[in-house]
């Protein structure tokens, strides 16, 4: 089946109404174009993957603001450029801080960095709280969070384990992270 601009526009409208299948269609259809464009700019596959995932997350969050007078791919690439610029700014800032902190850190090299009993308790409480928030998600979202962040599986490994298409896993993780962030912000 040939995918026409009418089909794309219908899916954009469905996505504006929260249709998850439409989100998946748009991600599947535009992923390679945005990924290829950003890979040429970054020349780093890991950074590109992060940028594109964040691009789609932002696009899906702000899809109501999309103006159909412009191409959807053009809109996505504009978002990707901004995400990339933000990433470069963060790297530049952290590099600057690292350079300034090198001299300061020499004075602290004598300090014992082993976590204290109090540090262990705080970490354990935070992890316990986070696990409680994760349990509030739907089981499918709990599963992808568990596989990605606790078992540290790659997207491809998760896709193979769950026997689902790779792009579905990416969308599911985006959605799970967004829902988890909403739960956390409501509780704090």
Listed residues 82, 103, 124: the one ending a domain: 103
- Whether 111 maps to a domain, the answer reads no
- Whether 135 maps to a domain, the answer reads yes
Q: Report whether 158 contacts 144 (CB < 8 A).
A: yes
- Check residue 106 and give its pLDDT: 47
Which residues in the chain come in under a pLDDT of 50?
103-112
- Check residue 119 and give its pLDDT: 58
Question: Domain range holding 11?
Answer: 5-103
Single pTM value for the model: 0.58
Same-domain status, 58 and 124: no
Of the chain, the end-to-end C-alpha distance in Å amounts to 48
Q: Which two tokens stand for residue 78?
A: 């504009």
- Check residue 8 and give its pLDDT: 93
Q: Report whether 33 contacts 22 (CB < 8 A).
A: no
Same-domain status, 77 and 19: yes
| Number of domains forming the structure of the chain | 2
């Amino acid at each position: 089946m040939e995918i026409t601009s009418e089909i794309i526009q219908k899916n954009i409208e469905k996505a504006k109404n929260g249709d998850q299948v439409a989100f998946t269609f748009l991600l599947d259809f535009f992923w390679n174009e945005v990924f290829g464009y950003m890979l040429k700019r970054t020349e780093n596959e890991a950074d590109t993957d992060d940028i594109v995932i964040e691009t789609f997350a932002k696009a899906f969050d702000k899809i109501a603001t999309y103006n159909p007078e412009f191409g959807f791919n053009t809109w996505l690439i504009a978002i990707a450029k901004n995400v990339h610029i933000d990433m470069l700014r963060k790297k530049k800032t952290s590099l600057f801080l690292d350079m300034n902190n090198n001299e300061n850190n020499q004075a602290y090299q004598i300090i014992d960095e082993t976590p204290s009993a109090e540090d262990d308790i705080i970490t354990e409480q935070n992890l316990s709280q986070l696990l409680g928030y994760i349990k509030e998600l739907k089981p499918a979202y709990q599963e992808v969070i568990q596989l990605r962040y606790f078992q540290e599986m790659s997207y491809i490994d998760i896709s193979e384990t769950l026997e689902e298409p790779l792009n579905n896993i990416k969308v599911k993780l985006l959605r799970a992270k967004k829902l988890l962030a909403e739960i956390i912000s409501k509780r704090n």
